[in-house]
Amino acid sequence: MERLLVLVRHGQSEWNLKNLFTGWKDPDLTEKGVAEAIAAGRKLKDLGMSFDIAFTSDLGRAQRTLKLILEELGQTDLKTIRDQKLNERDYGDLTGLNKDDAREKFGEEQVHIWRRSFDVPPPGGESLKMTAERVLPYYDSEILPRVLKGEKTLVVAHGNSLRALIMQLENLSPEEILKRELGTGAPIIYRLNEDGSVKSVEDLAA
């Protein structure tokens, strides 16, 4: 029995393009982001993939990416579960700020700590550790059991909510996961063992 889990970060958003901290705000995809989502769907189709269920966040850029992928796969009626537990990390007071402006306001070293430490949150926001504390229980209770039953599962979410998942799947340290870059619209294909550990991984951005 195949235990298939595919993770996709949403395509480029308007705020990605403008170098803004996005978090729980809800900008749309850029034209490039739309093209990335369509390309992700085509890559999966070319591999002969289809899915039994999809999960996405409560944010439109992830939902639209999923919709475009499913259109390419001819699976527009696929059962889809949306949950804010898969939302991007909340950047709190940094939300909406240009990353260069944030460095001027708070200092380069402080912004670097907020962005690249595992457990230091920005003011009013979440650290990656806090993001993981909502993502991982949801994965363990809602997503993993379906994968282990043989349901081919697609998850379209965000850079940091997916980092939290990848950290657990690949047994990465906090330092290792912070260095992990996730391409927008690039599927990562996991095949799991019976116990939920990773049997194989293929990153289609590579």
In the block, residue with structure tokens 């039953």 = 149
Beta-ladder partners of 80: 54
How many other C-beta atoms are found inside a 10 Å radius of the C-beta of residue 52? 16
Q: Three-class SS of residue 98?
A: strand
> What is the C-alpha to C-alpha distance for residues 79 and 76, in angstroms, rounded to an integer?
9
Query: Is the separation of the CB atoms in 188 and 163 below 8 Å?
Result: no
Of 183, 128, 162, residue with least CA distance to 12 = 183
Catalytic residue among 10, 36, 126, 158: 10
Q: Which residue has the tokens 């912004």?
A: 111
Q: Is 72 a catalytic residue?
A: no
| Catalytic pick among 36, 88, 126, 158 | 88
Active site residue 88: yes
Could you list the active site residues?
10, 88
